[in-house]
Amino acid sequence: MVAARTRLEIATENLSNVSTTGFRRITARGFLTSLGVTIARERSRDRSGEGRAGAFGPRISGSAIANGVDAISEMIDVLAAERSFESAQKTVGAIDAARQKSVEAARVS
């Protein structure tokens, strides 16, 4: 749930800065650790020196390139993070319900 929340925060930050000049897109990288999933925030590299349009957005004037934030992709990521959080929440609820049933069954026996 923490990983989904972090993804959601990153996507909403990118979305809120879609028109901000000089903003560099933040990406989320997930890592599996002994404590669970950890999400690291990474700023996209400055690609202003490249002479072509690419995955980081269209050329603007001269050698400047847009900040690399695609509003549609970020909205999709927001929705995916929300769904991931909801799934984790339902899983925790199901585990809690199963635990409660086992406690009630132990009382009856």
The whole-number pLDDT of residue 49 equals 40
The whole-number pLDDT of residue 92 equals 93
The whole-number pLDDT of residue 99 equals 94
Does the structure show a pLDDT above 70 at 54? no
Higher pLDDT, 59 or 67: 67
Higher pLDDT, 61 or 98: 98
The whole-number pLDDT of residue 86 equals 93
Does the structure show a pLDDT above 60 at 11? yes
The whole-number pLDDT of residue 55 equals 47
Long-range contacts of 84-90 (CB under 8 A, 24+ apart): 84/3, 84/4, 84/7, 85/1, 85/4, 85/5, 85/8, 88/1, 88/4, 89/1
